[in-house]
Amino acid sequence: KEQMAQPAQPWEFRSKPAWQRLIIMIGGVVVNLILGFLIYMMVLGVWGRDYVNQGDVSHGFSAAPVAKDIGFQDGDKIQSVNGEELFSVLDISRHLLMRDVNTVEVVHQDGSEEAISIPEDFGMTMWKNGQEVPLTPVGFATLDSVLPNRAASAAGLLKGDSILSINGNPVQYWHEAKAEIQKVFNSNLLMKVYRNNEAIYLAVRNDSLGKIGVSGGSPAKTISVSHKDFSFSEAISEGFSYGYWTLHDYVVQFKYVFTKKGATQIGGFGAIGNLFPAAWDWNQFWMNTALISIILAFMNLLPIPALDGGHVLFLLWEMLTGRAVSQKVLERAQTVGMLLLLALLLYANGLDVIKGFF
């Protein structure tokens, strides 16, 4: 305080013109962005990128109820989005949730083609209905996991079991099995499964949400993954594009954060740790490092006192009005900003703890 009460010295930050101070304040944000973009360029140049072509999803996509409401059908094959093919057709759900999608061109199971119009607020509809992935590659009705201490494990279901029928209704694909399991809540199910070269019957009861504690339908056998390597110049172009859309999608998703459901999805250090795989993978490490760098750039630019964005806001005010904000206002704003950030930190990490134990 004593130092700030003295006249500004030529070497002090506060003595510089407002435009110079503005450049300094946004310097950290710019460096984080550049770093994230450069890492994406490096990763694509070194490891390339896996993708799935439009024609390499052999059984098409299964559609969640929210997707069926606007015209999608089980078995649809995605041809294009807004008239352009996706780099990887598996990105379709992310485009519907985060991007400005007007039409999706599909081929239905019967061979007919249709351009499905996407409502303007479809992303929010997906979010509110808990169907953020409305289109998933069709997978066979094989169990990928059976949760312990749930109805399925108590009934004797095992990982790798192939479901042949439920209550006498034959099923081949996972979305068909899931529909049968959830047809009536709190009901008894007679499941015919194939295990060790023989068919057996098991009785299981679903819960009030229509669940029995299993997951399945891995599309590993129904999709073909391709790989593309990039030249030096291609890696620069593709890395910039990947970084741009990563930043775009992160900014867009904030509209979901400011909802009742979104407030419970915030994560802290635990959520960041969960980004990284259990087994070390340099490719994934660098991809996540680039993502975190871009997230930090955006978050630090938010107009909250104590963040660079808060200082930028005050500097812009000074440049527009010709009058600097008083030191007392700056100090109070800094205090409020620090308290707000501390509260957000405690809230986000508290949610991590709750999710970890409940």
3-state per-residue secondary structure call for the chain: CHHHHCCCCCCCHHHCCHHHHHHHHCHHHHHHHHHHHHHHHHHHHHHCEEECCHHHECCCEEECHHHHCCCCCCCEEEEEECCECCCCHHHHHHHHHHCCCCEEEEECCCCCEEEEECCCCHHHHHHHCCCCCCEEECCECEEEEECCCCHHHHHCCCCCCEEEEECCEECCEHHHHHHHHCCCCCCEEEEEEEECCEEEEEEEECCCCCCCCEEECCHHHCECCEEECCCHHHHHHHHHHHHHHHHHHHHHCHHHHCCCCHHHCCCCHHHHHCCCCCCCCHHHHHHHHHHHHHHHHHHHCCCCCCCHHHHHHHHHHHHHHCCCCCHHHHHHHHHHHHHHHHHHHHHHHHHHHHHHHC
Same fold, 54-137 and 143-221: yes
Q: Is the CATH code 1.10.8 the one for domain 54-137?
A: no
pLDDT given for residue 11 in this prediction: 61
CB 200 within 8 A of CB 192: yes
Structure tokens at 82: 């807004």
Mean pLDDT of 9-36: 84
Measure the CA–CA gap between 58 and 212, rounded to whole angstroms. Answer: 28
Which of 142-173 are b and which e, b meaning 16 or more Cβ less than 10 Å from the residue's Cβ?
Answer: bbeebeeebbbbebebeeebbbbbbeeeebeb
pLDDT given for residue 5 in this prediction: 58
Q: Is the dihedral of CA 214, 220, 223, 226 positive or negative?
A: positive
Q: Is the CATH code 1.10.1200.10 the one for domain 143-221?
A: no
Residue matched to tokens 């199910």: 189
218-265 residue pLDDT tens? 888 889 999 999 999 999 999 999 999 999 999 999 888 888 787 777
**Domain residue spans of the chain:** 54-137, 143-221, 230-357
pLDDT given for residue 9 in this prediction: 63
Q: Which of 41, 8, 70 is nearest to 240 (CA)?
A: 41
pLDDT given for residue 6 in this prediction: 63
C-alpha distances (whole Å) from 299 to each of 251, 252, 309, 314 are 9, 13, 8, 17
pLDDT given for residue 191 in this prediction: 96
pLDDT given for residue 349 in this prediction: 80
Measure the CA–CA gap between 88 and 276, rounded to whole angstroms. Answer: 22
pLDDT given for residue 274 in this prediction: 75
pLDDT given for residue 352 in this prediction: 76
Q: Which residues contact 51 (CB under 8 A, 6 or more apart)?
A: 87, 88, 90, 225, 226, 227, 228
Instruction: Count other C-beta atoms under 10 Å from residue 179's C-beta.
Output: 17
Instruction: Count other C-beta atoms under 10 Å from residue 73's C-beta.
Output: 18
272-299 residue pLDDT tens? 777 777 788 999 999 999 999 999 999 9
Mean pLDDT of 316-332: 87
106-146 residue pLDDT tens? 999 999 999 999 999 999 999 999 899 999 999 999 999 99
pTM recorded for the entire structure: 0.83
pLDDT given for residue 151 in this prediction: 94
Mean pLDDT of 25-40: 95
190-206 residue pLDDT tens? 999 999 999 999 999 99
pLDDT given for residue 21 in this prediction: 84
